[in-house]
Amino acid sequence: MPDAPLPDTVATAQSTPDTPQPYAELGMAQDEYARVREILGRRPTSAELAIYSVMWSEHCSYKSSKKHLRQFGEKAPASDALLVGMGENAGVVDVGGGRAVTFKIESHNHPSYVEPHQGAATGVGGIVRDILTMGARPVAVMDALRFGPLDAPDTRRVLPGVVSGISFYGNCLGLPNIGGEIGFGAGYAGNPLVNALCVGVMRHEDIKLAQAPGPGNKVVLFGATTGPDGIGGASVLASATFDDESHAKRPSVQVGDPFMEKLLIECSLELFAADLVVGIQDLGAAGVSCATTELAAGGTGGMRIELDRVPLRDPRLTPEEILMSESQERMMAIVEPAKLDAFLATCRKWNILASVIGEVTDVTPEEAERGGRLVMTWHGETVVDMPPRTASDEGPVYDRPYARPADQDALQADTPDRLERPKTDDDLREQLLRVLAAPGVCDPTWVTQQYDRYVMGNTVLATPDDGGMIRVAEDADTGIALAVDGNGRYTRLDPYAGTQAAYAEAYRNVAATGARPLAVTNCLNFGSPEDPAVMWQFAESTRGLADACQTLGTPVTGGNVSFYNQTGDTAINPTPVIGVLGVIGDVRDRLATALPAGADGARIVLLGRTAEEFGGSVWAEVVHGHLGGLPPKVDLAAEAALGELLAEAAEAGVLAAAHDLSDGGLGVAVAESALRGGVGATLHVTDAFTALFSESGARAVVVVRPESEDAFAALCERHGVPAAEIGTVGGEALTVTHPEGGFSVSLAELRTAYESTLPAVFDAE
Amino acid sequence: MTARVGVVTFPGSLDDRDAARAVRIAGAEPVALWHDDPDLKGVDAVVLPGGFSYGDYLRCGAIARFSPIMGELVPAARSGNLPVLGICNGFQILCESHLLPGALTRNKSLRFINRDVTLRVESTATAWTNRYTDGEEIRIVLKSGEGCYVADTATLDELERTGRVVARYAEPAPNGSRREIAGVTNEHGNVVGLMPHPEHAVEDLTGPSTDGLGFFTSLLAHLADGVPAAAGATG
């Protein structure tokens, strides 16, 4: 083994100002590098360069998106429920009874393409640690996934790998997976989307923040050891400086150990319960760099770290590699010296390695003015001496140019009006079955049965219901409902309206469980921000979401941006995934989607207005391969009225089932409810094509309890929600009649169409 | 006197809280037991819950078998005195401990399976199933990646001949288990291993049924009245 290379110290940096540094290879622009030199008044050491390069990366600094994300705060509706807003690891909302909920969604797109299983697994691990870091017990996960076309060869590699990764990690952690959504499209072939959501529950007084107050307090790193995994750029530093080939071929995708994370969760919750930490941060992207700078910035601004005290999996790691390592399952805590022994004892109980690597220090007023002072040593030599706030809070902010894409007008002008509509009942029937079997619509059981939805014993609703619902505690009546939705086709046609439509769908999904929507998280998946057309989509999308949240009174509590989802110059359809969290006072009031068995003759009522809206619809895609025109109009007032109606109807117990209408329209919704209940339905409509396939928003289909028809009609009247009696429950088939005729499909045939699509691909040898 | 039922938490146990809830709903007092502490705390029975003890590293249940608490539990269970229910990972631990014959291997699909399944209760002559009727069909939760029960033909024949198959899948076993076996018992009928999860079918709100509660109420009947009196036909 070669001798350990000499570290690039602050003293060396001062005496060798002209040493060339590989900032470009680390993804830093020349002016960003110049700014680092200006902040430090000298060239950065390799370790400092490592810290700035990761902290100022798009992923950590949100430098291209920040300008637009500010709207979520500026336009935030007044909400008494919001206890912790954006900027922390995750937002926290009050759900009553002294309990609070924290939730967030985050992308792990690029790693999931490179190595689907580990990429997706560590995506789950990362978001779960974010939730834990807030002081909450994680109680459920969900995910939104996008893949290339179902028949694309690479989809058979990526999808099973992603699903097995989520399954492996989430199941082993003991977190129920309560739902999500899955979609397919050509643009996602080289850019799958893996957006993982986690939700946690805590008492108000248990909220923890990423901060390091109190000079003299200890900085403790606990959890897994630090290895060379997930180091993208550090090897550039190492090889540029030392030409050490042994560092060359290292995995840039992290490897997850859910067992370690499970122990870390239980250990951390015990530490919190015993009040043994004053500040806590998880180690995710940018590892030790991020945790130390953010904790220091959130506290006194001062911290001293001895990097050689970080327990290593590979003793050859250099300081800059330790700083950039993304080894999973690690946390950093700030602990009062008097409580250190108790802290370490709890870690020992759970077999968790814990190491004191430094302490919080005081700063002079001058140092505070500069952004604090973070000092790191390596074998006694100072390798970092920098103001941490300049890395964590004062990164570059770009106002990237944006411009409406050149093809946008032509795309919107190519409306679905030109598409041939079904002429006969046979056409209607055949097209309904094709839409029902479409990859993004069909039964997701092949995927979801790989996830544990029962563990923890509080799952009230899970896939295939419209939203997932969790009882907040075993002895509580209160529940939370969650849904995530995104529609890249709508957003491509009109990013402002398409994003609002995704939000409205998630809102409606939550409402259809009987819960009242309360707060929003988002994961914004786009192409390159350096492309003005993509930036325009992003600007429109964020404006749409901020406006919609303001209108409906649900604040954005946090989220995540994923740029650079593109192959060559071709970006994915912009895919903002919106998560909505709602609250239900009594989980026993929840609404399920299944048609009630043994209730033949019960009335099926369609709520909301149906227009001829086929732009971006599943019908246009499946039957004609068409994407053009405008997405369905978004009517937020109608969504609010429908949501409140459903919540009150649930409380009043007047409904036997409810299902929101979205992808595919009424035909798909009723078919799904029929299959889940194992009972048929008869629908009477006028314009069968529009009735079955239009994707107009603010609609739901409900089954009214026979004894409550008058009460429900009065509720609809009061909320101004149009209610049309369109059919009845019963029989062994879905039957549709209209003035010119009608058709019927047996439940067995519906089931075959609905359930065969994914197994046909993924169970095939 | 309320029965006290221990629930062991190993590192990586996941359904321990659920098992404790089921015990409580059945009317007994759950007692938390810790893998590293050999003290059984004088409990009347023990549940080894589901999960991934020790991360399922090496082999499911293979490391848990050597934990300090098993050193106390195994002889008490083997003697026929201490009722023990091993659910999912707990079943795997019981097999690894040789308290029950056979082994659990990867599902035939090689994928984790979570679905509601119908079981047929095949033996009510155990401490954990005496409140069911022979042949009764119950709907509970299957959720496991390594739930395929295997044993050699002689062992399977012996299990069937002596009435030690506790439950079978009423449909073709989703995981490929030999002879559709979902659960087995020892010669005394005090130790039962079951791959599906009865503790997740104890509340209408959160499970597919409340059919799973019978395992826990059976235990209470057994502890109160010694039902069944001499469990397990031994030939």
Q: How confident is the model at residue A251 (pLDDT cuts 50, 70, 90)?
A: low
ipTM: 0.94
Say if residue A239's pLDDT is above 50. no
Q: Residue range A425-445: average pLDDT?
A: 97
Give the pLDDT confidence of A414-432 residue by residue, as tens digits. 999 999 999 999 999 999 9
**What pairs with residue A701 in β-bridges?**
A606, A659
Residue A240 pLDDT? 40
Residue A245 pLDDT? 45
Selected residue with higher pLDDT from B174 and A229 = B174
Using CB atoms within 10 A of its CB, is residue A30 exposed (0-12), middle (13-18) or buried (19+)? exposed
> Does residue A459 belong to the interface with chain B, where contact is any CB pair within 8 Å?
yes
How is residue A171 written in tokens? 């199941």
Distance separating alpha carbons of residues A237 and A231, to the nearest angstrom: 11
DSSP code, position B67: S
Residue B231 pLDDT? 44
**Chain A residues lying within 8 Å of B51, measured CB to CB:** 174
Say if residue A252's pLDDT is above 90. no
| Least Cα separation, residue B59 to chain A (angstroms) | 14
> Does residue A586 belong to the interface with chain B, where contact is any CB pair within 8 Å?
no
Q: At which residue do the structure tokens 């941490």 appear?
A: A388
Give the pLDDT confidence of A627-656 residue by residue, as tens digits. 999 999 999 999 999 999 999 999 999 999
Give the pLDDT confidence of A262-275 residue by residue, as tens digits. 999 999 999 999 99
CA distances to A73, B76, B152, B193 from B164, in Å: 64, 19, 15, 11
Give the pLDDT confidence of A589-622 residue by residue, as tens digits. 999 999 998 889 999 999 999 999 999 999 999 9
Q: Within 13 Å and on the Cβ side, how many CA atoms surround A721?
A: 31
Question: B18–A455: do the CB atoms touch at under 8 Å?
Answer: yes
Tell me which of A70-79, A154-163, A274-283 is least confident.
Answer: A70-79
Please identify, among A392, A421, A449, the residue that sits at the C-terminal boundary of a domain: A392
Q: Residue A45: inside a domain, yes or no?
A: yes
Please identify, among A362, A392, A422, the residue that sits at the C-terminal boundary of a domain: A392
Q: How confident is the model at residue A365 (pLDDT cuts 50, 70, 90)?
A: very high
List, for chain B, all residue ranges whose pLDDT scores fall below the cut of 50.
229-235
- Taking alpha carbons only, the member of A371, A380, A364 closest to residue A296 is A371
Residue A241 pLDDT? 40
- What are the structural domain ranges in chain B? 4-232
Q: Are strands B45-48 and A279-282 parallel, antiparallel or unpaired?
A: unpaired
Has A59 been annotated as catalytic? Answer: yes
What CATH number does the domain containing A269 carry? Answer: 3.90.650.10
Largest CA distance in chain A: 89
Distance separating alpha carbons of residues A739 and A725, to the nearest angstrom: 16
**Chain B residues lying within 8 Å of A758, measured CB to CB:** none
| Least Cα separation, residue B74 to chain A (angstroms) | 24
Q: Residue A679: inside a domain, yes or no?
A: yes
Give the pLDDT confidence of A139-171 residue by residue, as tens digits. 999 999 999 999 999 999 999 999 999 999 999
Tally of residues, chain A: 765
Cβ–Cβ pairs < 8 A, chains A and B: 83
Q: Which residues of A558-594 are buried (b: 16+ CB within 10 A; e: fewer)?
A: bbbbbbbbbeeeebbbbbbbbbbbbbbbebebbbbbb
Q: Residue A139: inside a domain, yes or no?
A: no
Please identify, among A343, A366, A392, the residue that sits at the C-terminal boundary of a domain: A392
> Does residue A30 belong to the interface with chain B, where contact is any CB pair within 8 Å?
no
> Which of A455, A459, A762 has the most B C-beta neighbours within 10 Å, making it the best mutation to test the interface with B?
A455
Rounded percentage of chain A residues whose pLDDT exceeds 70? 96
Residue A76 pLDDT? 86
Q: Where are the alpha helices (DSSP H) in B88-176?
A: 89-96, 153-161
> Which of B111, B141, B216 has the most A C-beta neighbours within 10 Å, making it the best mutation to test the interface with A?
B111
Distance separating alpha carbons of residues A27 and A136, to the nearest angstrom: 35
Distance separating alpha carbons of residues A716 and A607, to the nearest angstrom: 8
Question: A450–B52: do the CB atoms touch at under 8 Å?
Answer: no
Rounded percentage of chain A residues whose pLDDT exceeds 90? 84
Give the pLDDT confidence of A328-346 residue by residue, as tens digits. 999 999 999 999 999 999 9
Distance separating alpha carbons of residues A144 and A142, to the nearest angstrom: 7
> Does residue A615 belong to the interface with chain B, where contact is any CB pair within 8 Å?
no
**What pairs with residue A521 in β-bridges?**
A558, A579
- Taking alpha carbons only, the member of A458, A471, A445 closest to residue A101 is A471
Tell me which of A72-76, A355-359, A542-546 is least confident.
Answer: A72-76
Residue A559 annotated as part of some ligand binding site: yes
DSSP code, position B56: G
- Is the torsion defined by CA of A148, A153, A157, A163 positive or negative? positive
- Taking alpha carbons only, the member of A456, A378, A384, A478 closest to residue A93 is A478
- Taking alpha carbons only, the member of A587, A665, A581, A656 closest to residue A623 is A665
Q: Residue range A292-315: average pLDDT?
A: 93
**CB A454, CB A373: distance < 8 Å:** no
Residue A1 pLDDT? 41
**Chain B residues lying within 8 Å of A260, measured CB to CB:** 55
Residue A4 pLDDT? 54
Locate the DSSP E strands across A508-555: 516-525
**What pairs with residue B47 in β-bridges?**
B7, B85
Q: Residue A518: inside a domain, yes or no?
A: no
Contacts of A666 (CB under 8 A, 6+ apart): A606, A610, A683, A691, A692, A693, A694, A699, A701
**Host H or E run for residue A184:** strand A177-184
Residue B235 pLDDT? 32
Question: B205–A450: do the CB atoms touch at under 8 Å?
Answer: no
Residue B230 pLDDT? 45
Say if residue A762's pLDDT is above 50. yes
Say if residue A247's pLDDT is above 60. no
Q: What CATH topology corresponds to B4-232?
A: Rossmann fold (3.40.50)
Residue A246 pLDDT? 41
- Taking alpha carbons only, the member of A156, A598, A50 closest to residue A376 is A50
| Enclosing domain of residue A371 | 10-64+209-392
Q: Are strands A603-607 and A459-461 parallel, antiparallel or unpaired?
A: unpaired
Q: What's the domain count of chain A?
A: 2
Q: Residue range A27-44: average pLDDT?
A: 95
Give the pLDDT confidence of A86-142 residue by residue, as tens digits. 666 778 999 999 999 999 999 999 989 989 999 999 999 999 999 999 999 999 999
Has B35 been annotated as catalytic? Answer: no
Residue A108 annotated as part of some ligand binding site: yes
Residue A155 pLDDT? 96
